[in-house]
Structure 1
Amino acid sequence: MIKKHRSEVSNVYFILFLLVIGIQLTFKVLTKSWLMDEVRFFYISSYQLPFLIGPILFLYMHSRNKGYFSRTHLLHFVPFALAVLMATSYHVGWVKHLHVHPYVYAAFQLSSLTIYGIAAYRISASRFRFFIIAVISIESIIAITLAIMVVYYGRFPDVRFVFIALTLLIYWISYKMMADQGYFITKQNGKNGSGKYAHSSLKPEESAQIETKMTSLLIDNKLFTQSSLTIDGLASQIDTSRHHLSQVINEKLNKTYNEYINELRVNEARRRLCDSASLKYTIAAIAHDAGFNSVSTFNEIFRKQYGTTPSRFRDERLKPDNS
């Protein structure tokens, strides 16, 4: 059972990736003559699907780090659209003398897979890198095989079972990655007790490691002062999943991620408000340096925690120094 958070951009890209792989498999196992007669446009377009795999993988890794969608991301799909336009224009008869040799298509597909694979690899956490290498390698084999089949059509053996095996391998690797990242509910002999995380796959020793890394990054290195820090970004730096990081914070600290980060930030701001050397800085500057994007949010959280405003708190603490 897939967990929630499907609205997240990264999960949308991952679902799109699985759909493209499924479409690719479907068109490779059905009878070619029927496809050419009934759905010629879509069948010819299916030969260009390797142009989609690379961009989708890259955007999936990018969205896990950044967590947003931009219209400029659509530019990554332009090569696929152009390849489909060129291939269908010739085969469907829209434009004559536009034939491109299959090996040329394969070369461009391999280039796209390699470039996007390297880009995705560089921005991904180590736990995703085998997945990226495996998918890019398998898709490269498929692209080369498709080109050879077209060139030697009628003399090349039926390799549909090879496509089925390779596609199922991609799905199996995807499943393993999703299971490891907590997308699936995995039963475990009750080690985590009952409640929200009763079926979590997170082991006690892994939980301790995550807590240690989190403490080192947030407290020792003061990573919480980065206003752009998100739970996905922190999980990536710790080399764990968002789900497992959230579980550690919930169970170890009895807080949510936002509560914990805001607590660290407001404590940092409080420390500076008590320091006479910080008198030259405004309340807004101190709030910003502590990691808050909004002064009003800082004031509200500070008032809830200390029962007074930041400015009054500083006046009261530094009054002896000013007298």
Structure 2
Amino acid sequence: MPPDQVDLSLLSLPLQSALLLAEMAFCLLFGLLLLRHSLLTPRPAAGWLALILLLSTLYLVPWAAGHLGWYGRDGYRELLFYVPFQQLLLIGPCVYAYVRALLNPGHRTRGRGWWHFLPALVYLLYSLVMFLWDAFAAGSYSFYGDGRDRDLDPWYQTVGFASLLIYTLLSIRRYHRYRRDIVSEVSYSDAITYRWVRRYLLLLLLLVGLRLTFLIAYPDFGSFGQKFWYYLAFGAVSMMVAVAGYTEAIRREASGHLAVPELPGPEPPETEKETPYPEMDAADLADWKIRLTTLMDEQQPHRNAQLNLTDLAQQLGLTRRQTSAVINREFACNFNDFINRYRIRAVSRAIDRGEHRQRTLLALALEAGFNSKTTFNRVFKRETGQTPRQYVASLAKK
């Protein structure tokens, strides 16, 4: 083709490429928004998610470009060959780092934590060596003599997806540990449970698990076009976490008072578990149950929407560990449920006095210590078996 003519085929846009490019643009946009947010606030979680979205965008490049026919064009083919777009060994550690930073804002990746990124660094160096050898030593295609993109080699795809699978499982384990511990630490755990994180991780686990299964069992399964649906689904999942993660970053900035506390470390050895509260016998626990009940009735600390275990322990004159023992053993519940029961009781009494006729149910809930209508409705239904409006209606019938 003469140099002054434009290859019109480059201007055509197949449906597959259009859909993938739309997902890439979406992820890139939210990635930039999150990057800006991370630079303006001292929260590393937004930065990690921005990196995940950038890597997800790059991951889709070979398939979007492939449907455009770039692998068959000089210049474009070399770009796809030598730039390692599919950083599978990097996505997994970034997902794990993001989950850790989100669930523990005080966490910083340092020291041995950076070893998680070593395999990805090795692959980047491998890609650089291939480029330098072909460009300056061999002077021709050497590593790419077979015309295949090394990012798509079965060994790299298998190792990469295995890595992503492992880090997704580690992230799920970290999340479940967080959900287990947070209800024993704060009275507003519903506001910081991040259920969307669990959904994202489970969807990612499903996608990665299926892809890895087919890579191992059927390494030559399907054509280039048939795999498009997998990449489209991957992009959709990335878009979901982009919206949820950005929304959470903005929400946390707007309501920073609902802080995620430092959670306790790993559980003690089995020998220590046998007598976790050796300083408190049954008589002590029963006595402190009475004192705690008196404190809750007279001082009503549950009306503090930011109440946590440390605050209550200080008011009671016990350690966090002792306070937790009293609540767990004498009231047979965790700290979050214990405080919310008092809040529900306060709202119920206010309704019984007819205060809901002068004020909204939400106003009563906020005064009792709840931080949102959603949490109030959920806890009220769980504790009473009725929604707040059903409870009001039942009183009107009496």
Q: TM-score, normalised by structure 1?
A: 0.37
Q: TM-score, normalised by structure 2?
A: 0.31
